Amino acid sequence: MTDKPTSETPPTDGGIKETFRTLLLAMLIALSIRTLAFEPFNIPSSSMVPTLLIGDYLFVSKYSYGYGNMGTFWGLIPFKGRLLGNEPKRGDVVVFKTPRDNTTDYIKRLIGLPGDTVQMRQGILYINGVPVDRDRLQHPLTGEQLPPVRTATTDYQETLPGGVTHIIRKEGDNMPLDNTDVFVVPAHHYFFMGDNRDNSQDSRTKMVGFVPEENLVGHAEFLFLSLSDGAPFWQFWKWPTSVRWDRLFTKIR
């Protein structure tokens, strides 16, 4: 009598290897997308209020400015400059590695290009010796999304050279970073500032300073999620009440 074949066949070595190859390929594809195309980031501070809020989650396009050593390859492949690089534009919201440690991610607005002079005088931004236009809003931007404003808080629409307009927040024009020396942006470096001008560690401080082009990570594109302050990402069962629904999939300007 011959043995009858059973309906259940134990997994073969070939099947295990094929599963392993599939998982490895999936991980490589995910890593490639994260390294070369889009990378997610979240906002942990209020330095870009009212443009970006604590609890915002966004995608950054890695290809927008090409690929730098610190911003793309984690310093593992030493080289200067950027591969397939495109020049960032004044007014772009950019994620970069701080020169202080080449590890910490910051997100700020690009203010000064190579060769520019940048200065703050009595709260007014000067680029190349010319004051940047700002128009005061009648009332600061408020709402459930935004943190409460202080009595002296004022929001302005600022128009940078080249025509990019955005909202900045000020708590006065005589704050610690409202009067600075003249900064001359070196070649292959950039000068960044937060939209929350009086509550931002940026290129006006020694903590950041001028940012080398190889430290640029990418251009902030759009929000894919926004959670109320203090709401952990992983507590998805709280999303119906903690998600700021009207901020989802909004383009960052």
User: What does the pLDDT look like over 123-181, one tens digit per residue?
Assistant: 999 999 999 999 999 887 765 556 666 667 899 999 999 999 999 999 999 999 999 99
CA distance 164 to 92: 9
What number of CA atoms fall less than 13 Å from residue 252's CA on the CB side? 31
Specify the CATH architecture of the domain 38-247: Ribbon (2.10)
Distances (CA, A) of 181 to 115, 121, 125, 150: 16, 9, 12, 28
**Which candidate, 134, 132, 121, places its Cα nearest to that of 183?**
121
What number of CA atoms fall less than 13 Å from residue 246's CA on the CB side? 4
> What's phi and psi for 21, nearest 5 deg?
-65, -40
Give me the catalytic one of 62, 64, 97, 108.
Answer: 108
Q: Which residue positions in the chain have pLDDT lower than 70?
A: 1-14, 20-38, 70-79, 142-151, 229
Asked whether 247 and 226 are in contact (CB, 8 A), the reply is: yes
pLDDT, residue 136, reads 94
CA distance 149 to 26: 46
pLDDT, residue 14, reads 66
Query: Does 47 participate in catalysis according to the annotation?
Result: yes
pLDDT, residue 1, reads 47
Q: Where are the domains of the chain?
A: 38-247
Whether the link from the prior residue into 40 is cis, omega within 30° of 0, is no
Query: Does 108 participate in catalysis according to the annotation?
Result: yes
> What's phi and psi for 18, nearest 5 deg?
-65, -40
pLDDT, residue 148, reads 60
